[in-house]
Chain A
Amino acid sequence: MRFEPTMKQAVIRRTARKYAEEVLAPAAVEMDRTGQFPQDIADEMAELKYFGLEIPPEYGGAGLDPVSYAIVVEEISRANAAMGLCVAVHNGVAAAPMYEFGNQFQRKKFLVPVATGKKIGTFCLSEPNAGSDASAIETTAVRDNKDYILNGNKVFVTNGHVSGTNLIFANTRPGEKKKEYTVFFVESEREGVEKGPLEELMGMRGNPVCPITLHDCRVPEENLLGEQGQGLKIAFATLNGGRIGIAAQALGIAQACLDVSLRYAKERHQFGRSIAQFGAIQKHLADMATQVEAARLLVYRAAGLRDKGLEYGMESAMAKLYASKIAVDAARIGIQIHGAYGYSKSYPIERYYRDAKITEIYEGTSEVQRIVIARSLMER
């Protein structure tokens, strides 16, 4: 059993950390303040291959292993959770299924621009009435000769406002009792695609989340990902892998909380000494550090199983469940350590709190993760 990173993983962490600290951390403050997505930084990240992390080089990606992928998402999120979200979603639930289920033609036509970051990808599952229950989706796709006509509303689409290529989940048997789920590539410029206004969110600000509406959107047959009726299979496979990204994101946020809390505790003096010298604060810091390390092991373990081609659905659910929980805890306790300054916008810890919360919700709520884990336990 190995717990040390390889030489490559160590350099990848350092490289991503340097970029995150020098470029993404300063941008995070501005993104949070204005809610604007920094396109210029995204373009630079595309050049540096942050948008094709696990995609093989022949399709324009970096070809990294899953553990390196988790490390990169962790480091980005540590500096800038909103950008970590952009990268995790783009790579984990857009580029990944395009590669895994796309045919040669689709890989060339759709995946290459996505993996090279020329087009930002989205994964459009959630609808006003379909969240945790993906089977409740109401978006329809009706065959019309060689085309499909799509209608429906997708909400809370991460990266939505800047996306170029969207994966749309739709019911290909509307009106029938048993639904059939199918995934389509839908280009943002296609007629009938309409993006709604940016969501004003509590955290992850600067990630361009918006609704996407499909209104008689005509899509050719060649845009069908995998096979008709494969939608749920694709969704579950994708979400299994995607959870590693979100878990790594939560881990990065938790690490950031620990970093700033530890620094603050050492610097802040009360009663004639640094508050880090008080047992109550030390307990908080010790717990936080232990939880971060435990989360890290879970995340890398899930990624390591994926790397070896083994089953990792339960492990990625555990990683996501645990990392998101401890991220929220670390932010909450971190604010406590900061006292009133923690409640002020002049320290980043309040942003981490707002950013952390959503990691318990999206790409499967904690409640859903527990269902996944419990089912796996019973099946195994």
Chain B
Amino acid sequence: MDTSHDLEGVWVFGDYRNYFQNRVTLQLIAKARDLADKLDTRVIALALGDKVHQWAMEYVAHGADIVLAAEHPDLKSYQVETYCSVVAPWVEAFQPQVFLAGATSFGREFFPRLAKRLHTGLSADCVALEIDPETGLLLQTTPGFGGELLAEIVTPDHRPQMATVHPGVFQERPHDPGAVGRILYPDVDVVPETRVKLIRSKRQQTRQAKLEEAQVVIAGGRGLGSKENFERLYELAELLEGEVGATRPVIGSGWTDKERLLGQTGKTVKPRLLISIGASGAVQYTTGILGSENIVAINRDPQAPIFNMADLGLVGDANTLLPLLIEALRKRV
């Protein structure tokens, strides 16, 4: 293919299973646009599935120069090994410099295996991506050591430079119906994974979409101390027409369902107001709430890192404040 030289730019894996997968892909295309301009190269989005034309069009409208598309019945369901059988040969053939994917469940499962097959480096859950002006290397900033620290990672000698990025970290570009791009369908040899069979796949019956779309989010942390105390948050959320989210220790203690998990391996929220209660502010959690327009934090420890990102910080015991707050709000309804 004569276009192969055009294809060595910045790649974005197209993940479109539901609304948020799609958004993260669009966000990454916007970021890839930015990186590609600095590298003087192109943005190439991938679209795999049984019918992908509409997604390919969408990616072009959001800034992709080229879409590499593959349509095959075996690509209908997201399967790591099957997808690797298509994408790995493409990478080997076209030699992209950078390859990005959303840190969705699938992205977090697919990209490590792909990186291993390509024998290249991968960084997880990046919160920033830049091009180093001197070396032209991709600077991948990721929260490391589970908390207070960010690591700047590079992949000096291996290609592509691969990274996953959590939804909500970057802003997508506006949909441009007039955008021009090419959609290519390279030859593919799909090798379906026969060792794993998908028996059933059911959309989870939860209120998670509401959490991600909520205008008010009440996020609870370990500092609440008990399941009973955590459950007060539902009452507060109801009064403010909001939704309840939780940090990982809360999920670990079984105080609420996993689908309420906020942060690195959970949901990213962007409400008008987020009230963080009894959470100290570990980076795994705060990556999920940084997009909030306003953050109010309640914590007993005035040194808690959560106060560094709060518009309003209240130093106090959540379990004393909550009943008072709920009572005050009830009076006003």
Contacts and interface: CB of A to CB of B under 8 A. Distances in A.
A241 to B, nearest CB: 38
Chain A, interface size category, equals under 10
A78 B32 CA distance: 55
B301 A269 contact: no
A12 B317 CA distance: 33
Interface in A254-297: 266-267, 269, 274
B136 interface: no
B297 to A, nearest CB: 15
Contacts of A267: 300-301, 317
A233 to B, nearest CB: 50
B147 interface: no
B181 to A, nearest CB: 56
Contacts of A274: 302
A267 B304 CA distance: 11
B325 interface: no
Contacts of A269: 302, 315
Contacts of B317: 267
Interface in B296-333: 300-302, 315, 317
Interface residues of B, number: 5
A266 B304 CA distance: 12
A113 to B, nearest CB: 36
Nearest to A266: B301
Nearest to B253: A22
Contacts of A266: 300-301
A269 B313 CA distance: 14
Nearest to B317: A267
A267 B300 CA distance: 5
Interface in A234-267: 266-267
Nearest to A273: B302
A24 to B, nearest CB: 16
A142 B302 CA distance: 70
A274 B303 CA distance: 11
Interface in B77-105: none
Interface in A77-118: none
B146 to A, nearest CB: 19
Contacts of B301: 266-267
A267 B315 CA distance: 8
Nearest to B226: A26
Interface string B286-301: 0000000000000011
B244 to A, nearest CB: 24
Contacts of B300: 266-267
Nearest to A22: B253
Nearest to A267: B300
Among B300, B301, B315, B317, max chain A CB count under 10 A is at B300
Interface string A174-189: 0000000000000000
A145 to B, nearest CB: 61
Nearest to B299: A267
B268 to A, nearest CB: 30
Contacts of B302: 269, 274
A274 B315 CA distance: 10
A269 B300 CA distance: 10
A274 B317 CA distance: 13
Among A266, A267, A269, max chain B CB count under 10 A is at A267
Nearest to B300: A267
Interface string A143-185: 0000000000000000000000000000000000000000000
A119 B315 CA distance: 50
Nearest to A264: B300
A274 B299 CA distance: 13
B89 to A, nearest CB: 48
Interface of B: 300-302, 315, 317
Given A266-B300, A274-B302, 6 more contacts: A266-B301, A267-B300, A267-B301, A267-B317, A269-B302, A269-B315
8 contacts: A266-B300, A266-B301, A267-B300, A267-B301, A267-B317, A269-B302, A269-B315, A274-B302
Closest 7 CB pairs of A and B: A267-B300, A269-B315, A266-B301, A274-B302, A267-B317, A267-B301, A266-B300
